[in-house]
Structure 1
Amino acid sequence: MNVQVFGFHDDQDTRKALRFFAERRIPVHFVDMKIRPAARGELRRFAERLGPGTLLNRAHPRFRALGLHVSGDSPERMLERALAEPRLLRTPLVRSGNRVAIGAVPSEWQAWVDEEKG
């Protein structure tokens, strides 16, 4: 099982995801979005499976500062904004094969681990 985690080192939920997989000795490829933002195709994969609205952290101060709470932008436009401003994304974005999850959802990650064990 290979896991890819997109997030920020200073984000508590991202650290929870990294710790969860480390405790189970599952290799993780961590992408610090402060250094290297997620690619458009990667974000699109999450948006297609979970819906584009789930990608954005509407509680983040930057979301309100940009006026996005009243903008009514299309999901595609929101995705473009998230590419330009990675802090607008809910983190962590976790991927293992075709499975994806957004946010700290240990129960879902555990289901992935159990499924891999067979």
Structure 2
Amino acid sequence: MPEVTVQMFGLKKSAATRAAERFFKERRIKVHFVDLATKPISKGELARFQQKFGSDGVLDKESKAYEDSGLPYLRLSEESFLSKLAEFPAALNLPLVRGGKVLSVGEDKESWVKMVEGS
């Protein structure tokens, strides 16, 4: 059986990110964690999540960071939108997790289980 590895984008201070990290570590799944506070997510990677979940899916519209970013008031092209999101990772619905072909946004245990199962 091939070894399962997931890539997780999040912030260390995010409770949902810590929950996801704990979920995978409890199941002995190797996690490649990218702390968005120190390294921004690439536009291509972010675009992959936006294409699957839409702009509303990747944004945490309840967060203070979303309001502070000015995103509710801006009309941006897709390229500008992705650049703005990369600048304000706390405005994202974290964590963003990729395991094989399965993507998840936020605290989504159903998708995490699919990643563990390797489907």
Give the TM-score normalised by the residue count of structure 1.
0.87
Segments of 5+ residues of structure 2 without an aligned counterpart are none
CA distance, structure 2, for counterparts of residue 8 and residue 65 of structure 1: 17
Q: Which deviates the most, 36-45 or 75-84?
A: 75-84
- Secondary structure (helix, strand or coil) at the match of 1:91 reads coil
CA distance, structure 2, for counterparts of residue 107 and residue 57 of structure 1: 19
Q: Give the letter aligned to residue 61 of structure 2.
A: R
Q: 1:23 to 1:58 in 2, by over 3 A?
A: same
Deviation at 1:74, TM superposition (A): 4.4
Q: Which residue number in structure 1 is paired with residue 5 of structure 2? A: 2
- Secondary structure (helix, strand or coil) at the match of 2:103 reads strand
Q: 1:16 to 1:38 in 2, by over 3 A?
A: same
CA distance, structure 1, for counterparts of residue 114 and residue 104 of structure 2: 12
RMSD: 1.7
Q: Give the letter aligned to residue 28 of structure 2.
A: R
Alignment of 1:1-118 (within 5 A): 1-114=4-117, 116=118
For these two proteins, the number of residue pairs brought into alignment is 116
